[in-house]
């Protein structure tokens, strides 16, 4: 018995330096990750981040998932540093005949709480090590919260639907493509699937799929001479009274309804105030009834100067004009409350008169962080689409 206790004590003592070394390495890795994650957009922290990056890049393959986990909450610059460190380790190991921790990488991808781009990078490493394992994982990623991991799974469904269609199995193809559309979040795939479904005679409700807000009340025009309207507080910013009249740029103005039938939710303010008027400001207002409180992303596309409020709180604004427009151009995070939520958009038109400056419009959709539509309980039926696509979205 005494001998056994002595042997156990010796074994524990022998293991202590290794445990201490592992703990020390973990502590240093954590410090290096912190230094990289502190890097700022104006070069803040670059020197410390560079030193930390070199230390991280010198770690062994077993440290890869720790570095990937460190990408959670990282800004774009820090993500690039950490991605580069992981790639440096992987290249060194594989080029030297070593191995990557396949099991740990697969476990990392399976854990949906990690940074989406870090999970995508882990998947790419799995593919480098064992493509067969990666291929088996793809079908299970169609509904993954990481949009970065969905694309290939959606493409598989699209390919399957095309084969079914070629075999004359139209109903099966429609079912497969319908599933692909439900999972698709990338615009090019959504457009391609929608086209195929319509050719099969199936209806596609793109505004609902995206979560575009189609029904608005607008008021204007207010003044924007010398571009001062962006900073000017006009009455809709302090009260919402859809029955009220106010002094506008050229007389009394009041709220009017504006409903879009554009498939991509474009709200064309020029429809409410025709004539391509310039140096003006308008407001658009809608109400969003939520079943319960929850986080929300309001994703805006707009080439005019704009501001956006959710429940009276200014989320963001851009005092720029005609810098281009695209779907999900701006992603604004907010919190919905249970019940009625108010959304107010301010859009300013400047003095330029070239043909490409006449657009006075925006598109806004409500979704979660994956781009999955969040639909209001009071969402009206989608207006009959005219098949219109805006040039900025093609």
The CA–CA distances, whole Å, from 77 to 37, 62, 316 equal: 8, 24, 22
Maximum CA extent, the chain: 100
pLDDT for 23: 64
Contact assessment for residue 306 and residue 315, using Cβ atoms and an 8 Å cutoff: no
∠ CA 66-71-73, rounded to 5°: 130
Distance CA 80, CA 134 (A): 23
User: Which are the contacts of 172, defined by CB distance < 8 A and separation ≥ 6?
Assistant: 164
Positive/negative CA dihedral, 240, 245, 247, 251: positive
pLDDT in tens, 219-253: 999 999 999 999 999 999 999 999 999 999 999 99
Q: pTM score, two decimals?
A: 0.81
Taking the domains of the chain in order of start, what are their residue ranges?
A: 2-141, 147-204, 210-393
Percent of the chain at pLDDT above 70?
91
Tokens of 249: 């740029």
Reported in sequence order, the residue ranges of 66-195 that DSSP labels E, i.e. its strands, are none
For residue 219, which of 178, 251, 179, 196 has the smallest C-alpha distance?
251
pLDDT for 355: 87
The packing angle between helices 46-57 and 76-95, to 10°, is: 30
Low-confidence ranges of the chain (pLDDT < 50): 1-21, 387-394
3-class DSSP state of 344: strand
Number of neighbouring beta carbons within 10 Å of residue 105 = 27
For residue 296, which of 237, 338, 347, 259 has the smallest C-alpha distance?
338
Mean pLDDT score of the chain: 90
**CATH architecture for segment(s) 210-393:** Sandwich (2.60)
pLDDT for 386: 53
The CA–CA distances, whole Å, from 16 to 45, 218, 382 equal: 36, 71, 67
How many Cα atoms sit within 13 Å of 239 on the Cβ side? 7
What are the φ and ψ backbone dihedral angles of 190, each rounded to 5 degrees?
A: -60, -45
The CA–CA distances, whole Å, from 254 to 32, 89, 259, 348, 360 equal: 58, 63, 16, 17, 18
pLDDT for 19: 34
Question: 244-254: buried (b, 16+ CB within 10 Å) or exposed (e) per residue?
Answer: eebebbeeebe
pLDDT for 262: 96
């Amino acid at each position: 018995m005494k001998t056994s206790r002595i042997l156990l004590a010796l074994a524990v003592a022998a293991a202590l330096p290794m445990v201490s070394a592992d703990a020390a390495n973990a502590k240093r890795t954590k410090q290096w990750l912190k230094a990289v994650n502190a890097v700022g957009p104006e070069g803040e922290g670059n020197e410390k981040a560079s030193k930390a990056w070199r230390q991280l890049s010198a770690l062994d393959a077993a440290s890869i998932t720790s570095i990937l986990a460190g990408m959670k909450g990282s800004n774009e610059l820090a993500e690039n540093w950490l991605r580069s460190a992981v790639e440096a380790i992987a290249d060194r190991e594989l080029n030297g005949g070593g191995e990557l921790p396949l099991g740990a990488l697969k476990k990392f991808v399976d854990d949906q709480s990690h940074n989406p781009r870090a999970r995508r990078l882990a998947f790419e490493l799995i593919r480098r090590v064992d493509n067969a394992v990666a291929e088996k994982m793809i079908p299970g990623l169609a509904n993954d919260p990481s949009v970065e991991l969905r694309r290939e799974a959606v493409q598989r469904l699209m390919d399957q639907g095309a084969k079914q269609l070629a075999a004359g199995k139209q109903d099966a193809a429609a079912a497969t493509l319908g599933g692909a559309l439900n999972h698709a979040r990338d615009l090019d795939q959504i457009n391609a699937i929608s086209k195929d479904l319509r050719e099969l005679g199936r209806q596609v409700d793109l505004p609902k799929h995206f979560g575009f807000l189609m029904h608005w009340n607008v008021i204007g025009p207010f003044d924007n001479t010398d571009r001062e309207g962006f900073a000017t507080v006009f009455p809709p910013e302090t009260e919402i009274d859809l029955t009220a009249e106010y002094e506008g740029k050229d007389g009394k103005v009041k709220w009017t309804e504006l409903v879009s039938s554009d498939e991509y939710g474009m709200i064309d303010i020029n429809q409410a105030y025709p004539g391509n008027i310039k140096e003006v400001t308008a407001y658009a207002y809608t109400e969003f009834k939520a079943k319960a409180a929850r986080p929300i992303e309001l994703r805006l596309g707009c080439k005019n100067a704009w501001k956006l409020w959710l429940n009276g709180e200014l989320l963001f604004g851009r005092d720029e004009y005609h810098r281009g427009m695209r779907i999900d151009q701006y992603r604004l995070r907010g919190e919905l409350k249970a019940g009625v939520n108010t959304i107010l958009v301010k859009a300013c038109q400047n003095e330029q008169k070239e043909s490409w400056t006449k657009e006075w419009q925006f598109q806004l959709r409500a979704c979660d962080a994956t781009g999955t539509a969040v639909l209001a309980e009071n969402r009206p039926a989608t207006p009959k689409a005219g098949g219109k696509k805006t040039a900025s979205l093609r």
